[in-house]
Amino acid sequence: MSGHIHKDYTGAKFGMWLFLFTEVLLFGGLFILYSVYLARYPKEFISAGKELNVWFGGGNTLVLLTSSLFVAVSITALRRGAKRLCLGLLGATIACAAIFMLNKFFEWSAKIHHGIYPGSEHLKEMKHGEIVFFNLYYLTTGLHGIHVVIGALVLTWAMFLIKRDRVNANDWVILENAGLYWHLVDLIWIFIFPLYYLILH
């Protein structure tokens, strides 16, 4: 019985990168919206931006940067035969995702409690530039949050495959691709953080 399964490590990884480029264009579009409206309403972006809490934003930045470290190290661990370390690190990455979403839950709850959310009466009374800022904030961070959840699910799936040795030191591209998706989630936040939380002047 000839059971040769064709595998293409480079092709698999390149395919993932192509998908990541489409994600870059997706979020790129939202950042273009931001930049156009920042140019049009600079003062209002600043006044609206001051309503956001730099501790939530900064905290979540640290959480995602650390999660990227964990997932990157997990690949080296797997390739060096440290399977349990790999699984532990992936678990830690997923825990970081949960912490991120918990932070986001508290952050959004506080905002919504103060009447700042798309379509709210309070929002309608604000200056035009401020309305745009908050709408873009919810749209961009909301879409990003969905990606955090998807990334966590993809990593969980990778963990199952590793546990069953279907992803291993000889065939690890699935873990690498899952990691690439996760790093993209981190990358998008690396731009969201300064643009939404650090426009103070």
Partner 1 sequence: MSEQDVHIVPYKTFLMIWVALLILTGTTVAVAQFHFGAWNIWVALGIAILKSGLVVAVFMHMKYENRLFRLALFSALAILAIFIGLTFVDVLYR
Q: How far is the CB of 94 from partner 1 (least distance, A)?
A: 17
CA distance 163 to 184: 25
Q: Is 73 an interacting residue with respect to partner 1 (CB under 8 A)?
A: yes
Rg of the chain in Å (alpha carbons): 20
- The pair of structure tokens assigned to 128 is 């035009």
Contact 119, 103 (CB under 8 A): no
Contact flags string 1-20 toward partner 1, x per CB under 8 A:
--------xx--xx--xx--
Q: How far is the CB of 130 from partner 1 (least distance, A)?
A: 18
Among 53, 69, 117, 174, binds partner 1 (CB under 8 A): 69
Contact 86, 77 (CB under 8 A): yes
Contact 57, 197 (CB under 8 A): yes
Q: Per CB under 8 A, which region of 98-106, 119-127, 141-149, 178-186 contacts partner 1?
A: 178-186
- The pair of structure tokens assigned to 140 is 């961009």
Contact flags string 131-160 toward partner 1, x per CB under 8 A:
------------------------------
